[in-house]
Structures are given as structure tokens and as C-alpha cells.
Amino acid sequence: MKRIFAGIIILLPLIFEVANAQNQHREKLLFDSDWKFAFGHPSDISKDFNTGTSYFTYLAKAGYGDGAAASDFDDRSWRKLDLPHDWVVEQPFDSLGSHSHGYKAVGRNFPDVSVGWYRKSFSIDKADEGKQIFIDFEGVSRDAKIWVNGFYLGNEPSGYQSFSHNITELLNYGGENVIAVRADVTTEEGWFYEGGGIYRHVWLRKTNPLHIAKDGTFVRTEITEGKATIKVSTEVINQAKETKTFTFKHKVVNASGDELAVVETQGGSLVPMKDGKYDAELSVANPHLWSIEDPYLHKLITEVIVDGKVVDEYQTTFGIRTILFDADKGFFLNGKHVKLKGTNNHQDHAGVGVAIPDELLVYRVKQLKAFGSNAYRSSHNPPTPGLLDICDSLGMVVIDENRLMGTNDHTLKEVERLIHRDRNHPSVILWSIGNEEWMIEGSEKGAKIALTMQNYVKTLDTTRPVNAAISGGWGYGISTVIETMGYNYLPHGNTEEQHKKFPNQPGMGTEEGSTYATRGIYLTDDEKHYAAAYDKPPRENWYSIEGGWTYYDERDYLAGMFIWTGFDYRGEPTPYVWPSVTSYFGMMDLCGFPKDNVFYLKSWWQDEPVLHILPHWNWEGKEGELIDVWVYSNCDEVELSLNGKKLGRKKIEKNGHLEWQVAYKKGTIRAVGYKNGKKIITEERTTTTQSETLKLSANKTNLFANKKDISVVTVEVLDKKGNAIPTANTEINFTIDGPGEIIGVGNGDPTSLEKEKFIADNIVIGLNPVKQLPLTKKVLDDLMPEISSNVFTKDTSGLKVYTGSFEIKQTVDDEANIKWFYQNIANSQAVYLNGKLIAQKVSDTYNRSEIELAKTNLKEGKNTFVVIGTPLKKKNEWDIPNQLPGSIQVYTPAKQWKRKLFNGLAQVIIQTKGNENGVITLKAASPDLESGELKIQVNSIK
């Protein structure tokens, strides 16, 4: 059966959201700024801020969040940062780290950095009382627990699901509030780099009690000649204390804001704490359709009206388009046949890990589109919402993928959350319910699970087909029931047989390739873990990129192919192990620098003329040896020459490439491309000379002053003639001035163990509860004899001794700033550390003070402190006086940013900071080279 799917689809534009979208009826405020962060611990309670140790824990009684979850917890020593944040990318590499996660020193073997705590203080206006207030998380990696003002909100185990909490009743209106988040990455969820922390956006949402639910609109279309019928479903929630009767007004506007259609409909009545779904229809004449080439977007404005007054306004940006998956002819968009030219991708980039800023996602999608890719598979989890916004606005269709297959309530609800969140994006053309579930994919059990999940998806959305990616078991198991077949790797079966056996089942290559390539390397060196960048099959009987694409392109019944992968990612460094830390599969490296396969794809995935030569022509010491020279082109013919001597003119077959063997000689190797007998394009590689100058270039040199805009800077070394040196591996130092900061560096080297971030080192030493002892000479002589004689020269009546210790496990840097963020454990306190008086007459009226420490006050290993004072008085007999003397912060300023080039390239990612206009100046320096400089203008958003 051939089915057509049509949809009008939602998009919240990035500029709209980042500008803290709001109208008079609802607000959605970006909640990314001014968080505090510190490491906890998965098993050592004392290192986890003694959370969950009170007589009443947060699971026992409401509001009893303790430790770092408590409202009054002292987080002054914690690190200050903005979101998104990935703490794992900041850690060093270690051979004991997880192979699948890129050998970062985190996980079960590194418990001290496997739990991260976040806290944020915020105020809520008194005028907001009476509204509904929500906290919305786009994703936290992983196993997140959330508290607000000490009230436990719940747990989200997945690092990829978006989730939300209503915090209306828990807030202090007109006062201060605290949110606390604990993330634990001890156990991995995926088999690829996942990072750790609040790595996606957080939002604070305010609505009236009667309002449209989060992700509460679903818009579909039926398109006939000259007209689109728009079907709208709206979910409304009544959280008022009385019954509400309401109506709707729906309005469609185009990209210019012109009103195209409007309808007013009856709504209904909802008693308190109930919700309802309501349908409406509109009609748009001669609709401007959304497509890959022309991703045109409209907006639906929905108003909820009570007694003639608007109480909620919900805006849905959408695109109008039809999709068809035909079992014999492939994929059609708006009735036009489109071969899917896709890539698989994880959320991971050099320097920033999974905490990819939105503008860096824009850069990545544009890099894919630049070589003709029109499709993106979110491997293997729900994507960050911003990615779908970008694909909507740039014209990239998407397979939206569920994380884990299953039929229990929890798993099905995860599928439901994914679909509700993403169902209105025009870019989403398929729901994938799973990927390579080897335990079940070829079995009857797997077929039953897949069929149940597929049927469940159909209760949520009938406008898109359902897909599963299957690496084995073609012809049985899941492949017998899935609506749209996903073939993972041709050696696993026969697509022709599957098509004959299931003639009504559309299909596509959801993964193909898995070729190994190191950018800029043309001789495989297994000792150094470098794989030559020529397009060769990864193993016997497998397909190269060319072979895979040719297979899928030649068969109309296959809708297209998704390459594994678009970008390299941390982890899965097949075919190598440590010290390789990233994959070798990408068409581009971890920075997004193209490997040579990009130009093969560009030759056959788009129409502009392409001519690309590999390898480079720097082969000192190999004079006279034969070098394999390949040419990627979509010309009819290519002629190759070396230093003016012609080496032959060859025809190019469709989806093919050309090869020569050329005896190496310094100079210039040149290719000339011909179309219809005419020379149309020339490309060359020239042997470079000695390094001379550093060059900096950027994808953007004009940025917005919004703390979010990004410039991706490429670093190269040029010779005296201005040619980029493709073999340069020079280390470069970077300095930056102006209203911007470096947030990450990289170079695409799969074996590099260099730092990716140079941040201030903020060590927090949590102090355990003190022990109270009587003040006697024997006690002091046993604890700290150096101070005993001085103490007993004064009146000691009523005084007690409070003592504790802490460990210093590493050498304190000379540049470190050390503070004891002290909390009173007594009155009239004198504080001694390692035998020296460091503070006296510490305030009795203010519980929190700061004690500056010198490096000489501390020592490696055990440090002992003694506090002498009078006991704190209880206000109530059940009170437990404070026994925690605060924490010590060892703050070491960040070192200078630096990175080695790898095969001629490195990358610096710059982000604007604050709201300040001005000029960012990035300077690059290296001994014996002329420095490079780049200026980037920063302007306010108008």
C-alpha cells in the first residue's frame, strides 16, 4: 500500500526563544545563566554533601531536601557557569576510561567526577502569584534528580528526554528561590560519547491557570489543488480553582506577518484540574509549501478566550508540505521525487562535547548541506529541540529516533513524549522506534514489541510512517512488521529479497559506510592509529561510501541512504583502541573539517561543478615513488598533469571517481575538468615550502551581543607563497580580548589527548560535621599542641572545642586563590588550621563569612582544624545546631589556550559574552612564525 502523509508543522524560531519569548498571557524565559556547579559522588555520602542523610529525607516528607538539595545550602565555593554545560569534556583522557565514550576520565573508574550538582538562585515577582510556573529541561545527562526550595520534584533517568515540572505551589513569590539538580553518569545509557550535566537549555515558563499545555498543539493538513486544509488539535488545561468556559480563535500568518486565514470555534468547559482536546479547521489558498530548497514557514496563533478576554496565546511556527514513501519509487516531498542523501550524527563537537550552542548546530547543519546532504538521522536518541528548529529553517529532513525499544509503560511514555514534542516539525519525516536491537531484532519477540510500539505511535501521529533500523534478521523478526524498513549495512542481508517478500514495505539505508578515514592521512599507519583517507571498504565484503551510494542510487525502491556518519564523534574508535579517542567514520572530523569523502558525495549529491584531488603533494623523501592520486568530480572528463606534463584524460562514470598512479616529484599536480568538451573547472595541489605565517579565518565575523552567538575560527599555517601547509602540526597559543571568550578548541586528530578546554580550576573541599569536645589541655595537646599554651592564657569558661580535618590530594598551584567559606558552628569563634590562628572573633550575627587562606596554610595530605567557641543555642529543643563549618575553595585561574594543528588545521570556537558591543580580537602565536590576528565585530540585537 502506498501512503501519503501531509502536515502543517510547528517551529519555535531560535531568535524568538533566545530573546525570552513572551506575550502578555504567557512567558518563556531562558534559564541558562548564573548557575553554580560542583562535583558530588555516587557512593561516598560525605563527598555528596551529605545529601539524603537527615532524619527526614526528601523521600520521607515534602520539602525536606537536605545537603546540596536544601534551600539554605551554602554553595558559595561552587564554580559559577552558564548553560549548556558538559563537565565530561573538561576531564582528561585516561586508558581506564570507557572505550565507547572516548576514554574520558569519568564513569565507574572515576567516581569523584561522575556526579555533578547544579544550583541556581532566582527570584519570582510577587505579581506572578496566581500564575502557573513551570521549569522545562531540554535534556540532562543523566539520571537527573530535581529539587526546588527543598521539594523533590522527581527523577529523569534518560539523558535525552525533555521533561518539565510544575513548581507553582513551591515558590516564594516576591522572594528568593533555589533549584538544585543532581546528575549521575556512572552508568552509561548509550554506547557513544554522552557527556555529563545540563547540556541543553533550561526554560522558566509562566502561564495563566487556564492555558494550552506544553507541546499542546498538533497541526495537520490535507492538501488539494490550490488549497491546504489545516486541521488543528489543541490541548487545554484548567488549573484554576473554578470551572472555566472558553472559546478559541486560530489565525494563520505567513512569513511576512500577513493574515491568511482565521477561524473562531467553540471550546468547552473544564472543571478544575482537568484537561481537554479540541479540534478546528482552517483553509489556506495557494499555500507556499515547505521544501528542502525553499523551507518556507508560517505561523499559527491560537488564542484561548474567556468572557471575551484572551487568557492565553500560543504561537506555532509551521511549514506546509506532503510526504510520501512509496514501496517501489522511494520518497516524495510535495509530490516531487527526492532521493534521501543522509548522514547519521551524535550530538558531539570538538571543544564543547555535547553542550553544543545553537549557533554551532547551525554551523554543523550548514556543513552537511554544503556537500548536498538533505537528510539527518538523530542517532540514536531524541535530538535537542534546537536541532529540529534549525533543520526546519534550513531545509533538512530528519529521522527522529527513540532511544530504547520496549512495551512497558515507561518506554511507551518516552515515545509519547518524543512525538508530542516533535510532531509539528516539517523536517521530521519518520519516527524511528529503535536501532540495532540485536537481542530481539530477528526474533518473534522483537516483532511483537515492534508491532506494539508501531501501533502505539499511530495513536499519537498518523501523518508519518514508522521505521526501525535493523542490522540483521532481514526477512524475519522486526523486519516483517515494520512499516518502513531501515537497512543497516548491506552485508547483513539482501534488500532485493526483502523487497520481493514485502512488496508494500518502503525501505532505505539507515546506516551504510562505516569506513575508516583520518583527515589528511594517505598512508595507513596502524602503529600511530591513522587510517588512510582513500574511500575503501572497512572490512571484507563491506561497502565503501562510493559502493554504498551507488547501490542505493541505482534502486528506485530504496528511498536513499544515511551514511555512518556525518561527523566524527568521541568513542567507538574502531578499528583501534587507546590512545584513539574518537571515531574514524565521519565524512568530517570532530571539528567539521571535511575529509576527502565529502568531495565524493558533493560530486553526486548536488549539481554545482566539483573537482577535488587527493592526496596533498608534500611527500619529502618519496621522490620517484608512485603515489595514488584520486580525483572526485561530476565533470564528464578530467585531465591530470604534473608540473605541466600531461598524465592522461579520463572519463568519469556516474557515481564514480578517477585514479592515477603518479611518480612523486615536487611541484604542482593539476586537474582540469571538462563538461561537454569544454574546460569548466581547475584544481591543483602544490608542494609547500617552510612555514611562515599563521592565518585565522572564521565562518562569521559579525556577531550578536547575546552571550550565545558563535564564531568558528579555522587556524592554518601558510608558507612564503601564501599556500596552506597540509602537513603542519605546529602548537599554537591563543589570546583573546573584547566581548567574547573561547569555549573550546580542537583539531580533528583521533589520537590527540590534548586539553579541549582551558578553564579555571575550582576545587571544592567539603568539610564534614565537626566533633565537639571539652576544652581541656589534654584535648588540645592531642589535637594541636602548638596552640595549647596560648589558649589557656585566657578565660576558657564556657568554651568548647570543635575539630575536624580534610584532605589535600594534589599540589596547590602558586597562583591559586584559597578561601574558606565559613559557616558558624559556635559563638565567639577562634579558628585554627594546622596549628596557626587564621581567624578570630568570627561574627555571631551572620552565619556565613569568608576566611582568606594562603598556600602556606595548607599541606598535602591531612589538614586539621580546631574551632574554639561557645556552643550555639537552640531555638527549639528538637533543633540540631549546625555542625558543618562550610567548605574550602581552591581557585586556580585558567591557563593560556593552546592547540596543535593536525594536518594543517585547528579550530577555535568563540562565543560572545555579556551584552557588550565592541570588537573581539583573537591572536595566534607560535615560535618562529608570524603571528595571526582576527577581529570580530559584536553588535547589539535590534
Between the alpha carbon of residue 568 and those of residues 587, 593, 604, the distances in Å are 7, 10, 22
DSSP string computed for 90-125: GSPB-TTS-TTTTTBS-BTTBGGGSEEEEEEEEEE-
Between the alpha carbon of residue 64 and those of residues 12, 58, 818, the distances in Å are 37, 5, 32
Separation CA 775–CA 789 (nearest Å): 13
Between the alpha carbon of residue 136 and those of residues 200, 242, 647, 708, the distances in Å are 11, 26, 63, 19
CB 859 within 8 A of CB 894: no
Q: CA torsion 830→833→838→840, rounded to 10°?
A: 0
Structural element, H or E, at residue 400 = strand 397-401
CB 726 within 8 A of CB 688: yes
Beta strands in 565-657 (DSSP E): 611-614, 626-633, 637-642, 645-651
Written as one letter, the residue type at 244 is K
Separation CA 165–CA 182 (nearest Å): 15
C-alpha cell at 374: 538533505
Separation CA 295–CA 847 (nearest Å): 58
Distance of CA 626 to the CA centre of its chain: 44
Q: Which of 511, 572, 639, 716 is catalytic?
A: 511
Separation CA 37–CA 39 (nearest Å): 7
Separation CA 434–CA 441 (nearest Å): 10
Give the CA count within 13 Å in the CB-facing half-sphere of 478: 31
Whether 264 is a known active-site residue: answer no
Separation CA 175–CA 172 (nearest Å): 5
571 torsion bin: left (phi>0), alpha (psi -120 to 50), beta (else): left
Whether 27 is a known active-site residue: answer no
What values do phi and psi take at 780, rounded to 5? -70, -40
Q: Which of 138, 156, 303, 436 is catalytic?
A: 436
In DSSP terms, which residues pair with 849 in a beta bridge?
822
Q: Which of 904, 833, 917 has the alpha carbon at shortest distance from 868?
A: 833
Written as one letter, the residue type at 133 is I
Separation CA 885–CA 768 (nearest Å): 8
CB 601 within 8 A of CB 545: yes
DSSP string computed for 729-789: --EEEEEEESSEEEEEEE---TT----S----EEEEEEPPPPEEEE--HHHHHHH-HHHHH
Structural element, H or E, at residue 213 = strand 210-224
DSSP string computed for 177-189: EEEEEEEE-SS-S
CB 584 within 8 A of CB 109: no
Instruction: Say which residues have a Cβ less than 8 Å from residue 45's Cβ, sequence separation at least 6.
Output: 51, 52, 53
Q: What 3-state class would DSSP assign to 415?
A: helix
Is 57 exposed, middle or buried (CB count within 10 Å of its CB: 0-12, 13-18, 19+)? middle
Written as one letter, the residue type at 308 is G
Structural element, H or E, at residue 467 = strand 466-470
Q: What 3-state class would DSSP assign to 887?
A: strand
CB 381 within 8 A of CB 358: no
Length of the chain: 942
Q: Which of 756, 729, 743, 744 has the alpha carbon at shortest distance from 926?
A: 729
Provide the annotated active-site residues: 436, 511
